[in-house]
Structures are given as structure tokens and as C-alpha cells.
Amino acid sequence: MKFFVKSIDREIWDTITNGPFIPKLENDDVFIEKPWSQWTEIKNKKAQYDCISKNIITSALNLDEFCRVSQCGSAKEMWDILKVTHEGTTKVKRARKHALIQEYEMFRILKGETILDVQKRFTHIVNHLIGLDKIFEREELNI
């Protein structure tokens, strides 16, 4: 999803990760939302990124996932809910990473397993570890 969104526009990805752009006015050191009629064309375009982001995210979801995020006010809220749902909290990620590292370290060819099956299983473990920010040296990936 990250690559797909960035390929459309990096500012859309920025909106998903950092929240929507809302033009503001400063009034006695207090910031208030600027009336829509006073937005410049550039600020209007930046504010539109949240709508585009929400459209991209919801278009990629099945009905159950859509229901989970449909009431969110911003693309960032949607993304945060989906991240926790699918990746888990930091504690869950750490536990998953440790379990995968142990599986990686204990990796052995199983009896009757083909080379293709071994490669698939190994690649699956490595890809999940990379997704959890494990960094491998090149020689570590040669089995």
C-alpha cells in the first residue's frame, strides 16, 4: 500500500502517516481553522489529500475492514486502526519478531521436503522478519 500510494503522490502518503492538512488562522496566539472560502488553491489541494487518501484506503478493503474504519475522520485514523489490527502493537511485534528469529535460527530442512518447499519456507520467515525491521547481512540469507 505504501508503494502504491507514494507512486501516486508522496504528499498523499504524508497525509496518511501525519494527518490531514488543515489551513489555520492565528488569533491571539490561538490557531483556529481557516474558513474554506479563504483557502488558497494550493492549500485546498493539500487539504484534498485526506479525501484522496481515504478513498484509496477504503477501495483496497473488504467489507469487514471497511466497516472497521468507515467512521474514522481522517486517513491517518484509518491507517492507525489498520496497522494495529494487522501488525499489532509494539509489544506484539517484538514478540512476533523474537519467535521468527528463533524459527530462523532453528531452520532445518524437513524430511521429504523439496528444495522449492525449503526455499518458500525460508523466504517466508525472512520476509516477515524484514517486515519487522530485522536487518540481515547478505551471507546470512544463504542457506
User: What confidence tens digit (pLDDT) does each residue in 120-137 have?
Assistant: 999 999 999 998 888 888
- Going by C-alpha positions, the residue among 112, 103, 108 that lies closest to residue 134 is 103
pLDDT higher than 60, residue 9: yes
CA distance 117 to 109: 9
3-state secondary structure labels for all residues of 76-120: HHHHHHHHHHHHCCHHHHHHHHHHHHHHHHCCCCCCCCCHHHHHH
Give mean pLDDT, residues 56-63.
94
Q: Which residues of 32-50 are buried (b: 16+ CB within 10 A; e: fewer)?
A: eebeeeeeeeebeebbebb
The band of 143, judged by pLDDT with boundaries at 50, 70 and 90, is low
Rounded to two decimals, the pTM is 0.64
Angle (nearest 5°) at CA 80 between 78 and 85? 95
- Minimum mean pLDDT among 35-44, 65-74, 95-104: which range? 35-44
Lookup: cell for 62: 473488504
Give the Cα separation of 56 and 11 in Å (integer). Answer: 13
pLDDT at 139: 78
